[in-house]
């Protein structure tokens, strides 16, 4: 029986979120902050196939499974200061792919597919 790791992880996370998709997160020194989670609607199987065919990029199975549940997400966004992490949607990946690659990076990293980033700068 195949296990959908993306589904298991998301189910576990969502059980910890309140009705507003928020969670209280402890920080160093006893401080806490409220983190917001935003999940996009799912991608269709057809969209995932079209993306791979048009870009010639291989999507790892777990990320494909995630996309079929949520075509992108924002995770651990601080409700007061922003930040957090973003898993890009299929619409955003092509526009962000090489923008995050250093100009002098090794050639093997050019084969890396950028699927997310930490928007905190």
User: What is the predicted pLDDT for the residue at 109?
Assistant: 46
CATH code of residue 75? 3.40.1580
User: What is the predicted pLDDT for the residue at 107?
Assistant: 44
Domain count, the chain: 1
Burial class (CB in 10 A: 0-12, 13-18, 19+), 93: buried
Could you give the CA distance from residue 3 to residue 61 in angstroms, rounded to a whole number? 11
Claim: this prediction has a pTM higher than 0.85:
no
Q: Which domain covers residue 63, as residue numbers?
A: 5-117
In order along its 121 residues, the chain shows pLDDT tens digits of 457 888 999 999 999 999 999 999 998 899 999 999 999 999 999 999 999 998 888 888 888 999 999 999 999 998 888 888 888 899 988 877 664 455 544 444 445 555 665 554 3
Nearest to 86 by CA among 100, 97, 76: 76
Could you give the CA distance from residue 89 to residue 1 in angstroms, rounded to a whole number? 28
């Amino acid at each position: 029986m195949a296990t959908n790791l993306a589904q298991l992880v998301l189910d576990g996370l969502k059980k910890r979120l309140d009705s507003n998709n928020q969670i209280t997160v402890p920080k160093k020194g006893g401080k806490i902050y409220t983190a917001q989670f935003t999940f996009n609607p799912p991608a269709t199987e057809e969209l995932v196939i079209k993306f791979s065919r048009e870009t010639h990029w291989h999507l790892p199975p777990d990320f494909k499974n995630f996309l079929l549940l949520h075509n992108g997400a924002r995770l651990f966004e601080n409700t007061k200061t922003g930040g957090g992490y973003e898993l890009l949607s299929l619409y955003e990946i092509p526009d962000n792919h090489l923008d995050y690659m250093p100009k002098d990076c090794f050639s093997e990293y050019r084969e890396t597919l950028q699927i997310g980033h930490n928007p905190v700068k």
